[in-house]
Amino acid sequence: METQKKNQSKSKAVEKAPSPSGATLAIVRVRGMVNNKPDVRRTLALLRLLKKNTCVVYPKTAAIAGMLKLAKDYITWGDLDDETHKLLVEKKGEGTLFHLHPPRGGFGRKGIKRSFAAHGALGDRGVKINDLVKRMLP
């Protein structure tokens, strides 16, 4: 009887539900692999972002948020809308991993080493990730 309760409590703790809003994140790798710290390299590998200009689509969860925080100096992310996601699937095929072109017009005025808030390319873009992804499509 006790072992059944323990097993049930363990299985409940392992389940990770997406956020109630059902938001979808688009994460794009902006910078390369040279001089990455091992924990950042591992996080990018877990996110399947092995090359520059690669985009992945994930649901918004606490686990993904922690990974984004760790790799914030190499990636940019934001809330993907349905229209842009359909366009991605139409142009690049079904799946959650997309290899894209460099963006037309560049990443930002200050380059790829500064945060988006400082007119760069890194970090959280919010809904403006949709504009970036559209500029990166062929």
Q: Give the pLDDT mean for 107-127.
A: 91
**Candidate from 52-61, 75-84, 106-115 with smallest mean pLDDT:** 106-115
* Distances in whole angstroms, Cα of residue 28 to Cα of each of 3, 5, 10, 51, 135: 44, 42, 34, 10, 12
CATH class of this structure's domain 26-136: alpha beta
State the average pLDDT for the chain: 87
118 within 8 A of 76, measured Cβ to Cβ: no
75 within 8 A of 68, measured Cβ to Cβ: yes
User: Could you tell me which residue, 10 or 83, shows the higher pLDDT?
Assistant: 83
DSSP state of 23: -
Strands 75-79 and 24-29, by their bridges, are antiparallel
Closest CA to 132 of 22, 24, 30: 30
Residue 17 has pLDDT above 80, yes or no: no
Q: Give the pLDDT mean for 83-94.
A: 93
Q: How many CA atoms lie within 13 A of 103 on its CB side?
A: 21
Closest CA to 56 of 77, 33, 82, 81: 77
pTM of the model: 0.81
Residue 14 has pLDDT above 90, yes or no: no
Q: In whole angstroms, what is the distance from residue 80 CA to residue 78 CA? A: 6
Residue 12 has pLDDT above 60, yes or no: no
